[in-house]
């Protein structure tokens, strides 16, 4: 065997040994039959769209054992839904629970403070992707990856007459006032909600005043 053949054989043997000690790669995902969405469009008098909002999420199933956890849960972060991130996209600025949300794309989570108050967490999607965050990333649960916005939510415990066996998230407009609406998260017999101002006052940046 020539020196070249010896070298090739040694390289193949080393590669085979390396592959044998590397962990097997696992693949997951595929079509998501549980993916749902909620959209809201507000039209101006001339027929153009003045507001466009979309929420996408995968429905997690409610379990009876969650009942006992509802009032004792305290966390810096909890997943909202399952599989891929729950997403929130808006083409215009709005306010949710008094918190201004600029136009853009966001990923959503939930936090429960020490006093039992619930907050919706919004992570700017571009920053989250660059940081390599997935909805189950440990840094989120530890509070090391901070949300860009925290929106207070009101808990309506046992507020629903008909239980939601799977997670339901919706954003709706008030039929009496297209400038106001509501964001709701329903699961089991419980509901988290926050008022939505679809046409908030312009910010200083919007008005061209950056002082």
pLDDT tens digits, one per residue of 19-36: 455 555 677 778 899 999
Strands 75-79 and 118-124: unpaired
* Residue pLDDT, tens place only, 84-127: 999 999 999 999 999 999 999 999 999 999 999 999 999 999 99
Rg of the chain over Cα atoms, rounded to whole angstroms, equals 23
* Whole-number pLDDT of residue 11: 54
In the numeric block, which tokens belong to residue 162?
């008909």
Nearest to 54 by CA among 190, 183, 191: 183
Mean pLDDT (whole number) for 135-148? 96
Could you tell me the CA-to-CA distances from 53 to 25, 124, 166, 210 in Å, in that order? 38, 15, 22, 27
For the residues 201-207, what does the mean pLDDT come to?
66
Q: CB-hemisphere CA count at 13 Å for 26? A: 3
Contact, 171 vs 38, CB < 8 A? yes
Report the C-alpha gap between 159 and 192 in whole angstroms.
9
Tens of pLDDT, residues 190-199: 999 999 999 8
Determine the Cα–Cα distance for residues 4 and 8; give it in Å rounded to an integer: 6
Q: Residue 146 and residue 107: Cα distance in Å, rounded?
A: 12
Identify the burial level of 18 via C-beta atoms within 10 angstroms of its C-beta, where 0-12 means exposed, 13-18 middle and 19 or more buried: exposed
Instruction: Enumerate the domain spans of the chain.
Output: 33-197
């Amino acid at each position: 065997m020539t020196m070249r053949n010896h070298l090739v054989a040694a390289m193949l043997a080393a590669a085979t040994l390396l592959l044998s000690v590397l962990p097997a790669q696992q693949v997951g995902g595929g079509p998501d039959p549980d993916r749902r969405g909620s959209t809201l469009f507000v039209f101006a008098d001339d027929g153009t769209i003045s507001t466009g909002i979309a929420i996408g999420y995968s429905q997690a199933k409610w379990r009876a054992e969650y009942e006992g956890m509802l009032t004792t849960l305290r966390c810096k972060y909890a997943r909202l839904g399952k599989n891929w991130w729950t997403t929130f996209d808006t083409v215009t600025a709005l306010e949710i629970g008094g918190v201004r949300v600029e136009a853009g794309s966001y990923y959503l989570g939930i936090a429960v403070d020490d006093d039992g108050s619930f907050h919706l967490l919004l992570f700017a999607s571009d920053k989250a992707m660059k940081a390599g965050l997935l909805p189950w990333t440990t840094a989120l649960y530890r509070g090391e990856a901070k949300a860009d916005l925290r929106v207070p939510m009101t808990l309506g415990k046992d507020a629903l007459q008909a239980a939601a066996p799977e997670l339901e998230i919706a954003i709706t407009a008030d039929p009496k006032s297209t400038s106001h609406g509501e964001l709701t998260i329903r699961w089991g017999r419980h509901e988290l909600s926050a008022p939505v101002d679809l046409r908030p006052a312009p910010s200083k940046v919007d008005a061209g005043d950056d002082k």
